[in-house]
Amino acid sequence: MKIRIGLTLWIFAVSLAALAAGAANLDIALGLYSPLDPTYLGPRVPAFTRSVIEAAPRYPLYMVVAAVVSVLVALYFWRSRRPTETKTFAVTLLAAVNIAIASFLPMTFYVAYFVLPKAANSV
């Protein structure tokens, strides 16, 4: 059981690190490639790209909020009177959600900002 608890905590810590790294990486990309001026993307900018450009500056904040909320929920589950199996399952599920967020938001920005405009303008 101690190995299961140790693995759960390690996976959760890695998911928090993934959120932090994703937020930092996305913040650097937003600083280098300003999404506020989509005119240099080409004459045709897809609607999905426009919507992502409007929301992208808030993506790092969303990732930090997700990390804080997941830590609070993990603490709630860990201190509850539920069985250990339920606690480890809940915290591992939170880690899976964190990893999904950490991979989805940056990839959404990268695909919408770098791939889709080039594909729309090459046709």
Query: pLDDT 10s per residue in the chain (123 long)?
Result: 889 999 999 999 999 999 999 999 999 988 888 766 666 778 888 899 889 988 989 999 999 999 999 999 999 998 999 898 999 999 999 999 999 999 999 999 999 988 988 888 886
**The predicted structure's pLDDT at residue 123:** 64
**The predicted structure's pLDDT at residue 32:** 85
**The predicted structure's pLDDT at residue 118:** 87
What is the total count of domains within the chain?
1
Domain hosting 63: range is: 2-122
- Which residues neighbour 27 within 8 Å (Cβ) at sequence distance 6 or greater? 60
- Predicted TM-score (pTM) of the model is 0.87
DSSP annotation of 36 reads T
**The predicted structure's pLDDT at residue 42:** 81
**The predicted structure's pLDDT at residue 23:** 94
**The predicted structure's pLDDT at residue 36:** 66
Interatomic CA distance for residues 75 and 35, integer angstroms: 37
